[in-house]
Each structure stands twice: as C-alpha cells, then as structure tokens.
Amino acid sequence: MKLLHIDSSILSGGSISRQLTKDTVAQWVTNHPGTTVDYLDLAVDTPSHLSAESLGFRLPAGADLTDAQRQENAVSERLVSQFLAADVVVVGAPLYNFSIPSQLKAWIDRIAQAGRTFTYTETGPK
C-alpha cells in the first residue's frame, strides 16, 4: 500500500495541520504495516499557479508546445502520477483567510485532469 502525505502549511514547527498529518500518517502506518509513504511539502515544493504555460497538458496530443509548456507539463505529470500512484492520500490543509493555502490550490489545479482524475458524464463531472 502506498500513502501520499501532503503538507501545505507555511509554518514549520508551529503548524497544527502538520502535527495532525504527522500523527495521522504514523497511526496509519502502525495499523497497516508495509505501507510506503511518499511525502510532498507544498510549502517547499510549490507548483506554479495555472498560467498559459501550465495549461499545456490540456492541449491536444501532438500539439506544438513551447519549452515553458513542456517544463510545466513535466511538473503536472509528476504531481498527477504521484497522486494516482497513491492508495491513500493525507492532506494537511490549514485555514488562511477563510480558505486553503494557495499552494494547495495550485496542486489541486495541477492534478485536476479530465480523463485522469475526473471525467465528464451526462450528469456532470465525476
């Protein structure tokens, strides 16, 4: 079993969400021996926010991409592949200004890929 542990707090030692995810992951590993943990700290390894370059993964296959789009696609591919490889995902999401941290939103935007992490159906997205 593979667990993806994500922290997004910009606070290091004083972060409650980081302590909660650490405790949650430790309990999971105790209860599920053999679990491998992949860790992503979005405060340290922050994907850029969506831009014309980072939307390259939404272009049709075979489209001519710029160097910047290729680089951004590599970031998106790494993040979505890491997410899809996980059986369990633990996300630490503190509340900043009544919302999630922008670096967590940037990660969500990168992994939200039609046909990979969701699909459009007659009744709407799933």
pLDDT of residue 56: 63
Looking at beta carbons, which pairs linking 16-23 to residues 24 or more positions away fall under 8 Å? 16/94, 17/92, 17/93, 17/94, 18/92, 20/92, 21/90, 21/91, 21/92
Q: Is the pLDDT of residue 22 over 80?
A: yes
Q: Is the pLDDT of residue 59 over 80?
A: no
Q: Is the pLDDT of residue 12 over 90?
A: no
Taking only the tens place, the pLDDT of each residue in 97-126 is: 999 999 999 999 999 998 999 999 999 999
